[in-house]
Amino acid sequence: MLAVFHKSLIHSYLKEIRPDPFHYDYSYQLQFIIDHSTTHRSIPAQMSVDAMLPPDEPERLAALQRYEILDTPPDGAFNHLTAVAAALFRVPIAVVSLVDHDRIWFKSHYGLEVCETGREPGLCASAIFSPDVYHIRDALTDARALANPLVTKEVGLRFYAAAPLRTHDGFNLGTLCIMDRKARKLSVLEAGMLTKLAALVMDQMELRLAARKIAELEQVERSMREEHEGLGKSEEHLRDLFDEAPIAYVEERLDTRLIRANRAAMRILGIKPEEVAETLGKSLVPDTVGAQSRLHEALTSIEGGTEASDVVLELRRKDNGNPIWVQFWSKPAPEGKYTRSMFVDITERVLLEQDKARLQAQNIYLQEEIRSEHNFGDIIGGSSAMRKVTQQIQLVAPTSAAVLVTGESGTGKELVARTIHDHSPRKGRALIKVNCSAVPDSLFESEFFGHVKGAFTGALKDKLGRFEVADGGTLFLDEISEIPFAMQAKLLRVLQEQELERVGDTRSRKINVRIVAATNRDLKQEVDAGRFRQDLYYRLSVFPIELQPLREHRDDIPPLAAHFVKQTARRMNRPAPRVTQATMSQLTSQEWLGNVRELQNAIERAVILAQGSFLQFDWLQAANTSSAVLAPPADAPAVLTSDELKRRERENLRVALVQTGGKVFGPTGAAALLGMKPTTVISRIKALGLERNKPT
């Protein structure tokens, strides 16, 4: 039987009916279940809801009524704050709630169609009695939320966090809460940010209360002038209200010189009481284009006799020059000789927004740096083979079709997968990589689909699998042929149904993942050999892309080499060495059995070994010579005699000296042009009978 009890009754009652230890929670609406089958005596079914409320609940409700905010129309300031909260915490729902006697009314409800709910069993009704941020990580497993309609009905609430809207005298009127349809944690930093945003919401409520009070005061002041009764007492009362108002209030002449300011205004502006009369309001505005432009617009509006409202101004404190931001409302006095302005300090809100913008910019910058470093966004090469790959990527990237990338090791299969992701509608979400050959057979299912706490020995907490992490994005399965045969059927089911079950769990979870697989094996042969499922092969190879080995498109070696030289030099913080034509010909003639990866490693080694301005690949030349001796090509030219070789060498050296003006040393000398050591060139000049200054 389900019953709700006041905290003081629970202690005494549990001692009578249950002497054994019993775990319970003193939250606002404590609920527990007592089985009918037990032999304990029955519990009263009904108790007054008012008995559950704290003694100062009438005072709290009276404080709420004083703000006269219930059932008021939507307000842009509150809607802006809930939108900022939703964006800052990346949740779909953010709400400003106010807890009345029998209901919870939403002043602003970003992402939620509901305008109010019953107070029982509302989460916000519990949150207002919490001294700090009230947090429910997963509503489906938290007894405090099981009866809430936002959890049990179509909204599907899972995560809830709320910071109380606390008045200056300590009453919590409602909450600023964020909600999500997915369970998640709330860090200490996030709790602090939510508390600050709640304080900004409370500032808006105080601002409107002060505006109403000031309007009432002005009405009282006019009435007092007309009636001439109780002037002294009323003036003292107005002064007290003016000075003690929590919202900054100033009166200033048309030239912005202050006439008077209350304590809140002096505290925000950094002004002493004796400095009020000598302070020009516009002198506090910094000399920046944006700030001066907004000041000009506000002054123009005031001079025209119209109100200026919701204007955000950047100011500098008079005492220390620190920047502050205020949101102010200004209205000309009826006689037009001065203006009356109210403003609230929104510095924390502005700084939060600036931090958010800065973090977003840093995130974009870092992503661009990563893309530049790893060349994710562009595939280098202009050969027909690479043009074909580029065209295939352009065709398949905008779709959600599965892609199978095949090719030898080092041909750039991961680069193709990244390029497909970066040119797809999923580019804003993650690209998750899994090297199937590196996952132990016993952990494949947990690695792919995740597990729940206690699913097996060592499963100390819930873990998301790679499929859930990649939800909404792309999952790159490298070395797909290494997946155990028994695991292939489970993988096929997930790909077909787009849903999975974690290890140790019985609940199915929907996913939306695009698959890009890669292998250096012939999967068709693996299917014929019975090592790979045929149905999984067809599911993965909806759109196959084959990458040719580097030796099949040698025209791409020069641009690849130039790119790797610049990339390596930048990473090592040294000038990029030059690659001579002779060296480039040497690179182009290599077989590169390791493909692009081998080329990149060779260039990195050459950059490390480079002593001058040019790269040298002596070890490659030795390998080429050995290969040429062991296996000469079938179409090799006729063998030259020693004299013919000597004549050709002499002519080649002569042409190099002519082009360099007889210069041997330095980056523009003949040695650099020939890709030889300067001492070797000097020796060959003497041996061949040439002169450096007068080559013949």
Grade residue 104 by pLDDT with cuts at 50, 70 and 90.
very high
Nearest alpha carbon to residue 400 among 509, 245, 533, 515: 515
Q: 663 near 669, Cβ under 8 Å?
A: yes
Tens-digit pLDDT profile for residues 76-102: 899 999 999 999 999 999 999 999 988
Tens-digit pLDDT profile for residues 120-133: 877 888 888 888 89
Q: Is the pTM of this model over 0.75?
A: no
Looking at residues 241-268, what average pLDDT do you find? 81
Distance CA 504, CA 487 (A): 16
Grade residue 352 by pLDDT with cuts at 50, 70 and 90.
confident
Looking at residues 127-142, what average pLDDT do you find? 89
Identify the sign of the CA torsion 290, 291, 294, 300. negative
Nearest alpha carbon to residue 434 among 487, 357, 381, 358: 487
Q: 359 near 352, Cβ under 8 Å?
A: no
What is the three-class DSSP state of 494?
helix
pLDDT at 366 (0 to 100): 61
Residue 308 bridge partners (DSSP): 330
Query: What amino acid is encoded at 636 in this protein?
Result: A
- CA distance to 32, 367, 572, 574, 685, per residue, from 568 (Å): 65, 19, 6, 9, 35
User: Is the predicted pLDDT of residue 455 greater than 90, yes or no?
Assistant: no
In the structure encoding, which two tokens stand for residue 486, read together? 């028994």
User: Is the predicted pLDDT of residue 1 greater than 50, yes or no?
Assistant: no
User: 61-84 burial string, b = 16+ CB within 10 Å, else e?
Assistant: bebbeebebeeeeebebbbbbbeb
Q: Give me the numbers of helices (H) and strands (E) for the chain, helices first please.
A: 24, 22
Tens-digit pLDDT profile for residues 149-204: 888 777 788 999 999 999 988 899 999 999 999 999 999 999 999 999 999 999 99
User: Is the predicted pLDDT of residue 291 greater than 90, yes or no?
Assistant: no
Distance CA 540, CA 493 (A): 12
Distance CA 496, CA 437 (A): 23
